[in-house]
Structure 1
Amino acid sequence: MGNKLKWGIASLICCLAVTAACSNNEPAAPKAASGNGKEAGKTESADPLGKYDPPIEMTTWRVVNSSFKFTNGETINDNVWYRAYKDLLGINLKNIWTVNDTNGSGDQKINVSIASNDIPDVMEVNPTQFKQLVDADLAEDLTKIYEQTASPLLKSIVEMDPNTLKAAFLNGKLMAMPNPYPAIEHARVLWVRADWLKNVNLPAPKTMQDVYAISKAFATMDPDKNGKNDTFGLAVNKDITTGGIADIQGFANGFHAYPDYWIKDSSGKLAFGSIQPEMKNVLAKLNELYKNGEIDKEFGVKDTTQIGKDAAAGKIGLEFGQWWNPTLPLQSVVDNDPKADWKAYPLVSVDDKPALAATGNPSGNFYVAKKGSKHPEAVIKMMNLYVEKLYGKTQEPTKYQLNDGIEVFKYGAVRGGPPTKNLNIMEKVGEALKTKDTSQLNDEMKSFYESILKFRAGDPKGWTGEALYGPEGSTRILDKYMKEKLTMPTAFFGPPTKSQAKVQQTLKKLQLEKFTKIILGQDPVDSFDKFVDDWKKLGGDQWTQEVNEWAQANK
């Protein structure tokens, strides 16, 4: 599942934001000795929420998709956020172009604009485009501007996970504002149909051995009691290590393996998780499960959409996935069978060492100010306004976040969210469920609270709220990971390295083919060793060297 689909799912549950994955005693992001040489200018420029007088003109570009909905005559060019920039900040923001993102057309349009140096004052870009802008000397240094202009609220949001801001540093300078990504929400949880557990008389999983027993029972003991041999054990999608639904990331974490993630090896250097010895053990076990008929014989052609259809049809009751799986695809299971009881459990370990959940990049896209722009600080001021109106003392979430079911937060050209947002929802909704006092709930929290009440009153449509934020919801698993330090953060979160764009797709294809063949039994498990050698020779060694150079430069 790509990042765009993940963000689409996130929007369905009302603008997921970052949950910090790192401890608070980590060092702050590096600060350059020399930053932008410009002074902030007028007083209103440095004032976090000060209004320009006279107003200033700023430009940007916008990429929209089918999840953007408009009402009451609003458009991506004229909406509640653009009017707020004008009325509250004195910024007249204009879109130089907009594009409907289909099949990567948004990135293509941005790439063409960068190549032709036809860029606006404010740009939202992905990590690769961010580095291209910096390498081409088209991005303004925001180091001093951030210190002068960012509001205390914005700084608290961006700096709670030190790696979030660090991801936007290149050559010791802050070259963009990061859009915080929920790093902890990359973590997998174990999803199991608890009603099936009862039918096969097995306890909740606490060890990897329990998972093996559940997988076998779900494949062989008619867990749905329909008298047919039509269910599988462990669900696996065709992309194997990715997708967020029925991938093997959480299963591998139980073996202390971290495919697709950069981790520190015993010498302290960064190493790619997919080629470590622990992965060989993971693949050997998956091959065993496949030979036993516990993994679907057709898994190699089934994407996450098909996995969702199989789950909805009652064929699957065990999978490792991300915390948002109730939204997609598990709600469809409950819609079809209101007695279905999917529950989230923490990852389990194959031995006496705890399983650590892999957590991802703490930043998504970046907001870049064009070099030479008269008001580069406006990028930060717009982000100040965004977090203030959604999460600050003068917040107006009904106006600026979710209005009559319309996700108006998407209209904002520069966005960000508090790192504890989803855990705050969990805590506040949980307390309200106990006390029946909803006075401390904002509109978003109330929507989940009411959804849970509907589910408990017999409406299966409200199950997602219960599964996400209820007393046994998946957010409580993420909370446990954080509080008990049961995470393995990615060790590389910088922009793409020089050779990465050349070799990554080749290495990804090599990995998928080899992992698939080993699981299917077409190649012996020991062929993993040659795969590692091939990975290194085909550019992996060079990529690894560059990643370690980045790590040295960003200690």
Structure 2
Amino acid sequence: MVSKKNANKLAIFCMASALVLSACSASDDSGNNGSNGGNGSEANGANNQTAANGATNEAASDAPANAANEAPAVNAGKYETPIDFTIVGQSDPNLKFDEGQSYDKNSVYDAYGEELGINIKNKWIVDSKQYDDKVNLTVASGDLPDLMKVNATQLQQLVENDLVYDLTDVYDQYASENTKKFMTADGGAELNTAKFDGKLMAIPVTDSPYNSAQFLFVRKDWLTKLNLPEPTTMDNLLQVIEGFTKNDPDGNGKNDSYGIIAQKEIYNQAFSFAGLFNGYHAYPGAWVKDASGKLVYGSIQPEMKTALQALQEMYKAGEIDPEFFTKDHTKENELVANNQAGLAFGQFWTTSWPLPSAVVKDNKVTQEWEVYPLPSVDDQPAMTQIGMNSGNIIVGTGVNGYYVVSKESKNPEAAIKLLNKFIDVDTVFPTPETERFHKGKTSDAYWKLNPIIVMSQDAQARAGGQLPKAVEAKDPSMVADSVVGSAYYKDVEAYWGGNAGNWSSWMVAKPHGSLDIMNQYLTSNRFWFDSFTGAPTPTMVSKKSVLDQKEQELYTKIITGKAPIGDFDKFVGEWSSLGGEQMTQEVNDWYAKQAK
């Protein structure tokens, strides 16, 4: 597990565009291990996602909207006569309440009551491990609260059974301009995942798809010592990996170093081969357009075989830890701490966890690392895959759930008012008025009590366009209007002042740091989005988990030489016959409908 110090640093890193906590992965697996608040959100605990833009809510009164999907009058302000609005959620053992407060009565709920005239009532609260099962029971019973967070499969079931409110007109009339801009910062891709036949049936739990981009992290001091080229091409990368393995980069006279760090989950967000696969233009676990315009599964394409062959050769040459397939992040990070490895792929927060525990010791940075964009195997730029192996996140969008409104709700527009308020509060620098939506007197975790939590889709990527320039010029005024940029800049100032614990922020914020590169990915269109963003198909629900397990097991065996590369072709046939062919048909049926 990550230390308390690094956990705090993770919270800073996730600030503003707010990674889903499972993506920040403070555990040794890639599952959803984050704490969840009473509203069932999996978002992390930082507020203030991006600088405020657009209009705020009007401070006027209105009457409750009619049920049965009648379009309400336009008015985004406070109810003249307060209404009750029911929600459900999950408890969080790490959420500490102020004296006299609880999930049912707390200052966050009070704030919504005072500012919007919405009295939030919990219909039920369960332990986070029981939440999905409880939602399934609720869906089966048809006894829905006004507002509930669900996953993609549950949303599909609710829509098919006509249990949720069509929010199309409600959203159009009640969402503020600030909200509409916030929810479509990615061009509308995430919002579109909540649409069925053009109707908005839910509010997507937005997050930044760009935060799941892959980067290459390299020991720059080893490059210099061994006179190796910067890994800007795949050929250069392979040369670096070989040099780090064979040329004794730590100078101890022993053949005990490995060119690349890897851990047992080969598609994980950090310390995996995900970025290398992308460098070979392979996109495992996702759906790719072929030459005919049809969707095919990325894991079984020829590019994947080429990448696996390259990894098998690296492993045979001793360039990969021979026991990587038995190790988690923490164990593999010991190689870094022992000066036995100096290259890894990962997401931008990799320099927040797990690397710092190996790099920063006794308030000193003991190793020099640099961040690079993904190198390509040919003259075409490497695209970084979005959403790989991110738990409940829909691959290719960043969405990690949906808020649905019951069709029986008397005030469906209240959900949009709650959404407006959260975005307005969370897109400005904190003030005493806004902080009551995030903090109690003794706890910084009250943000988890918000009935709706959405995250910025592009705050980190946009900050990468101005923050590195501000850091280079040592001019904080250049990020004065950016909540994200200002937070990182303060960390960097502390790093300059001798706080080595802020090395992680330095690696993100500096020129040629990860946010600089993330912005380059954005401006040069190097993000690769999955072409399938629908709910899991019937065959996916019944068979994909088994196929995924077979894939991981075989590909790991191929890499380690326990299976010949020819078994890749055998698996392609097996994958198709065991459900893959049917999944492909279902995916293409869905895709054809999107074009209409």
Structure 1-normalised TM-score?
0.89
2:61 is matched with which residue? none
Map 1:374-393 → 2, pairs under 5 A: 374-391=410-427
Change (3 A) 1:454 1:160: closer
Map 1:365-404 → 2, pairs under 5 A: 365-391=401-427, 398-401=435-438
Q: Once structures 1 and 2 are overlaid, which stretch shifts more, 414-423 or 281-290?
A: 414-423
What amino acid does structure 2 have at the position aligned with 1:59?
T
Structure 1 distance, partners of 2:513, 2:420, is 32
1:229 and 2:255 aligned: yes
Q: Following TM superposition, by how much is the alpha carbon of 1:357 offset from its aligned partner in structure 2, in angstroms?
A: 1.0
Q: Report the 3-state secondary structure (helix = DSSP H, G, I; strand = E; otherwise coil) of the residue aligned with 1:328.
A: coil
2:451 is matched with which residue? 413
Q: Report the 3-state secondary structure (helix = DSSP H, G, I; strand = E; otherwise coil) of the residue aligned with 2:352.
A: helix
Structure 2 distance, partners of 1:117, 1:340, is 57
Structure 2 distance, partners of 1:13, 1:468, is 19
What amino acid does structure 2 have at the position aligned with 1:141?
D
1:39 corresponds to which of 66, 70, 74: 70
Change (3 A) 1:482 1:13: farther
2:360 is matched with which residue? 335
Structure 2 distance, partners of 1:451, 1:392, is 19
1:24 is matched with which residue? none
Q: What percent identity do the matched residue pairs reach?
A: 36
Deviation track 1:427-481 (CA, whole Å, cap 9, x = no partner) reads 5544554254458256664442222122222321011111112222211111111
Change (3 A) 1:284 1:455: same
Structure 2 distance, partners of 1:69, 1:508, is 39
1:82 is matched with which residue? 109
Q: Following TM superposition, by how much is the alpha carbon of 1:3 offset from its aligned partner in structure 2, in angstroms?
A: 6.6
Structure 1 distance, partners of 2:244, 2:443, is 39
Q: Following TM superposition, by how much is the alpha carbon of 1:69 offset from its aligned partner in structure 2, in angstroms?
A: 5.1
- Tell me, yes or no, if the aligned pair for 2:45 and 2:445 is still in contact at 8 Å: no
Q: Following TM superposition, by how much is the alpha carbon of 1:528 offset from its aligned partner in structure 2, in angstroms?
A: 0.6
1:246 and 2:271 aligned: yes
RMSD: 2.8
- Tell me, yes or no, if the aligned pair for 2:208 and 2:455 is still in contact at 8 Å: no
2:223 is matched with which residue? 197
Change (3 A) 1:423 1:521: closer
- Tell me, yes or no, if the aligned pair for 1:216 and 1:294 is still in contact at 8 Å: yes
What amino acid does structure 1 have at the position aligned with 2:291?
S
2:197 is matched with which residue? 171
2:141 is matched with which residue? 116
1:6 is matched with which residue? 23
- Tell me, yes or no, if the aligned pair for 1:179 and 1:415 is still in contact at 8 Å: yes
What amino acid does structure 2 have at the position aligned with 1:338?
V
Change (3 A) 1:552 1:389: same
Structure 2 distance, partners of 1:233, 1:145, is 55
Q: Report the 3-state secondary structure (helix = DSSP H, G, I; strand = E; otherwise coil) of the residue aligned with 1:119.
A: coil
2:84 corresponds to which of 57, 68, 74: 57
Q: Once structures 1 and 2 are overlaid, which stretch shifts more, 366-375 or 74-83?
A: 74-83
What amino acid does structure 2 have at the position aligned with 1:206?
T
- Tell me, yes or no, if the aligned pair for 2:49 and 2:484 is still in contact at 8 Å: no
Q: Report the 3-state secondary structure (helix = DSSP H, G, I; strand = E; otherwise coil) of the residue aligned with 1:368.
A: strand
Q: Report the 3-state secondary structure (helix = DSSP H, G, I; strand = E; otherwise coil) of the residue aligned with 1:95.
A: strand
- Tell me, yes or no, if the aligned pair for 1:169 and 1:176 is still in contact at 8 Å: yes
Aligned residue-pair number: 532
What amino acid does structure 2 have at the position aligned with 1:38?
N
Q: Following TM superposition, by how much is the alpha carbon of 1:247 offset from its aligned partner in structure 2, in angstroms?
A: 1.6
Structure 2 distance, partners of 1:540, 1:133, is 26
What amino acid does structure 1 have at the position aligned with 2:405?
A
Structure 2 distance, partners of 1:309, 1:133, is 47
Q: Following TM superposition, by how much is the alpha carbon of 1:164 offset from its aligned partner in structure 2, in angstroms?
A: 0.9
Change (3 A) 1:67 1:240: farther
2:386 is matched with which residue? 359
Structure 1 distance, partners of 2:483, 2:291, is 48
Structure 2-normalised TM-score?
0.83
Change (3 A) 1:203 1:64: farther
Q: Report the 3-state secondary structure (helix = DSSP H, G, I; strand = E; otherwise coil) of the residue aligned with 1:324.
A: helix
Q: Following TM superposition, by how much is the alpha carbon of 1:261 offset from its aligned partner in structure 2, in angstroms?
A: 1.4
1:539 corresponds to which of 579, 585, 594: 579
Q: Where does the alignment leave 5 or more consecutive residues of structure 2 unmatched?
A: 2-18, 27-33, 35-42, 51-66, 388-395
Deviation track 1:11-37 (CA, whole Å, cap 9, x = no partner) reads 67836969xxxxxxxxxxxxxxxxx95
Structure 1 distance, partners of 2:165, 2:565, is 50
Structure 1 distance, partners of 2:334, 2:509, is 24
Deviation track 1:273-313 (CA, whole Å, cap 9, x = no partner) reads 00001111001000000000111111111123333343344
